[in-house]
Structure formats: structure tokens, C-alpha cells
Chain A
Amino acid sequence: MGVIWNYLGDPAHWSGSDGVPARVLEHLEYTFLALAFVCLIALPLGLYVGHTGRGSVAIAGTANALRALPDFGLLVYVVLLISGQLPASLAYLLPSVLVLVILGIPAALSATYAGIQAVDPAARDAARGMGMTGSQVLWRVEVPNALPLMLSGIRSSMLQIVATATIAAYVSLGGLGRFILDGQSQRDYSQMAAGAVLVGVLAILLDLIVAGIQRLVVSPGVTGRFRTAGPGRRPSLVTSSQEGSVVPTT
């Protein structure tokens, strides 16, 4: 483990466009860019499918099919397919972000619709009985109740994106994966290991931040219902069979 600290302890590795802070920022940039698109697509779609019950079979099928595809292969294939048709400045960024978005969608989408569908039908009926309209039921009853699952879905998507963005260094993307790939080609293990540690720490920190947000925004009345799921708050196979499953990071 010593070699890692030697690399990270060298001030020369902490400045410039290939220094640690610059790479961390790049990695965060890709992650948030992709995650923003994932939320823009997956959340409205998940809310619609969950609320109306339309298309849930198609969504589950597509999400499962996407999971069977190897992320790394999909990344390389999309880059080869479309990078030739793009201006040089976008040739690597755009396809990579596109793949990050595609891979990030299933977790957030299936968790959102499963979260909405898992809302206690009695609560939904009561809300209607009180005279709430369809959109009021959605925003005041279904979304607050589904929030824990929705956020853990977004958490899984985010981790998936962080991990895949690392691999995307192979197709010339920047970010922390550069240390691993450049270290590999220069036969410099300390650089590779330093990159690996940084990615791991980044993933854990981001996960903790979202977990913190989750604690802040979820109504305390709702969390009581999920206490049996354990403190990890990851949707488990047992407690939410419709949800599909936890998406493994790449």
C-alpha cells in the first residue's frame, strides 16, 4: 500500500491539468452531467409508469435486457459507432456521456416506478376519498412515500455512472480512470493504485452525501415503514421483489 501514498504524497501530482484535483473535477463533471440527464429521463417516466401502471412490463423487460449487456463493450461500441460522425472536440465526450446515461437509467427508472407502485393502496384510496385529484395523489401521497426507494435508485445510478466513467478513460475520456489507464501503459503501478484508491474514495463520499440527503428529505413518517429493510436502505431482493434488484457497479 506504501506505493500509493508515495504517489499521492508527491506535490507534483497535485497540480496541472493531469493533477489529482483536475481529474477529480473532471470525474465529478461527467458524473453530474450524466446523472442530471438520467434524472430528467428516468424520474418523469418512472412516475408516469408507476402512477398509471401503463408500460411497466416493457420497462422491466428493457431494464433487464440492458443489465445483461457488458458496460465496457457497450461503451466501446457506441464510441466506435458515432465518434466518426462528430467534430473532434465532441468525438469522445458525447458518446461516453451517452453511454453513462443509458447505463444509469435502469436503476433510477425501475426504483421510481416500483416505489410508486409499492405505495399502500389504502393510502392512495384515502387520498382519493378526501377529494384529491390524480396529480395531487401523485405529488402529495405517492411521491413522498416512494422517495426512499427513488433516492436509493438514484444512488445506484450514480454509483454505476462513477464506475463506468472510470472505464471511459479507455476511450480517451478524462477523469480518475486516466491514472489507472496511463499507469497501466507506463507500467507505473503506484499511479494505477493511486487512481483506484481515489475512485473508491470518491464513490464512497458521493454515496454518503446522497445518503445524507435521503435522511434530510424523506419524511420521518415514511422512514418508519422502511425500518425493517435495515439501515443500509438499499432496496433488497426480498423486500421489493417488483423493484428488480440492486444494480451492480461496473
Chain B
Amino acid sequence: MITYLQDHFQQTVERFYTHAWLAVLPLVIGLVLAIPLGWLASRYRRVYPGVINLAGLLYTLPSVALFVIMPSIIHTKILSPINVVVALTIYTVALMVRVIADALIAVPAEVRSAAVAMGFTGLGRFLRVDLPIAVPVIVAGLRVAAASNVGLVSVGALIGVDQLGSLFTEGFTLFVGSIVLLGILLCVLLALILDTTIVLIGRRLTTWQRAVA
């Protein structure tokens, strides 16, 4: 494993970076898309079941299937990393919409009334009162999404997207377990880094409390 890492250091570092990008990009895009959708679902109770059921349905689809179907829907090349990014964004949105909707519904009514009494209205109240209160729950959801994204990106090696998952296919072709093990360890390391980053950002955003879920 050490010898492999010495011989392929540059390549492995590049794969680590690509892996990180392919996992983080969908997380950010997915979160940005899920916030307005979650708000809609929490605000209009008739929208809620539809959005949640659709999210559940999308979450049911196996990732390999989604990776492979993407090109025929968005007209990308089969080997394009965009397929992986779009597919993982769909998963992230599917997971986060429900988390955000439930977190917003759980904002205490008296807090909301107090905010209104202090003169907060509409978007201002949402951004400065409701959303910050929902942050700990959103952070918990993002941690799950980040961990799953790191694992799912590696599956992209099956459709030819080069990242840490390529260590699994390489190890299998060469029949060398230690290369696979290196890939697993680097994936876990990446997942840990992302997890810690998300927790730290969550703490910065919720300075009034130290209880992050």
C-alpha cells in the first residue's frame, strides 16, 4: 500500500481532489435547491405529501441506475462526470427537502409570533429567524448526505469517472487487496474531513447554542 502510494502519489492526490469535488458540489447545489422546496412544503401543507413522496421515490432509485440514465435525460456523454454530479444532486435534494421542511415546521409558533411582533416580515423573517433555528437539523441532514455522497461517488468508477473509486477497480483488475484498502481508507478520510467541516460551519452559524445534533 505504501509502495503504491509512493509510486502513484500525484495520481492519488488528483483522484482525492476529484472525489472531493464530485461529493461536495452536489451537496452545495442540492442544499441551495432544497431550501426553497423545503420552504414550499412547510408553508403549504398541500404541497408537503407530493414533495415528500417524490423525494422518497427518487431516493429509491439505485445510484448506478441513475448514473447510467442521466445521459439519455440531460444529453451528456456517458463518461462525463456531470452525470455523477447531477445524479448526486438529485439524491441530496431528495434527502434534504424532507429534513428542511420538517425542521421549518418544527420552529416554535411563539418564536415566530415574537419575530412578527418585532417587525420581521416575509423573506427577512425566513432568512433571519426560521432558517437559523433550523440550522442544527439541517446540519444533521447534511452530514448524512455528505457521507453517502462520498460512498456513491466511488461507484462512478464503474461508468469510467476517474476518482478514488478507480482504486477499487484497479485493485480488482490487478488482484491486489491493498490498493482497494487504500481507496477505502482515503474515502473514509474524506468523509471525516467533510463531516468535521460541516459540524464546524454549523457551530459558526449557531453561536447561541453549542448543542449540535
Contacts and interface: CB of A to CB of B under 8 A. Distances in A.
Interface in A166-225: 166-167, 170-171, 177, 180-181, 184, 189, 192-193, 195-197, 199-200, 203-204, 207
A70 B184 contact: yes
B198 interface: no
Interface in B88-120: 91, 95, 98-99, 102-103, 106
A237 B141 contact: yes
Contacts of A197: 65, 69
Nearest to A73: B184
Nearest to B41: A230
Interface stretch (A14-22, A76-84, A108-116, A119-127): A76-84
A232 B98 contact: yes
A72 B71 contact: no
A72 B181 contact: no
A238 B62 contact: no
A235 B160 CA distance: 34
A221 B152 CA distance: 39
A200 B72 contact: no
Nearest to A194: B68
Contact of B72 (A1, A80, A237, A239): A1
Interface string B58-75: 011111111111011100
B31 interface: no
A73 B61 contact: no
Nearest to B154: A70
Contacts of A193: 68-69, 72
A136 interface: no
B106 to A, nearest CB: 6
Contacts of A72: 151, 154-155, 157-158, 165, 168
Interface stretch (A39-47, A50-58, A138-146, A242-250): A242-250
Interface in A12-69: 67-69
Contacts of A236: 98-99, 102
A249 B192 CA distance: 20
B22 interface: no
- Say whether chain B's binding surface is mostly helix, strand, loop, or mixed: helix
The range of chain A's interface size is 35 or more
Contacts of A231: 49, 52-53
Contacts of B64: 163, 166-167, 177, 180, 196, 199, 250
Contacts of B171: 76-77, 80
A74 B62 CA distance: 17
Interface stretch (B8-16, B121-129, B142-150, B201-209): B142-150
Contact of B62 (A68, A80, A163, A246): A163
B136 to A, nearest CB: 10
A94 interface: no
B211 to A, nearest CB: 12
A177 B63 CA distance: 12
Contacts of B66: 196, 200
B191 interface: yes
B48 interface: yes
Nearest to B157: A72
Given A184-B160, A189-B72, 5 more contacts: A72-B168, A73-B154, A80-B177, A171-B172, A232-B56
Interface of B: 48-49, 52-53, 55-57, 59-69, 71-73, 78, 91, 95, 98-99, 102-103, 106, 137, 140-141, 144-145, 147-148, 150-152, 154-155, 157-160, 164-165, 167-169, 171-172, 175-177, 180-181, 183-184, 187-188, 191-192, 213
24 contacts: A68-B188, A68-B192, A70-B164, A72-B154, A76-B168, A76-B172, A80-B175, A170-B172, A171-B172, A184-B159, A184-B160, A192-B78, A197-B69, A200-B61, A200-B69, A203-B61, A207-B60, A230-B48, A230-B49, A232-B98, A234-B56, A236-B98, A238-B103, A248-B151
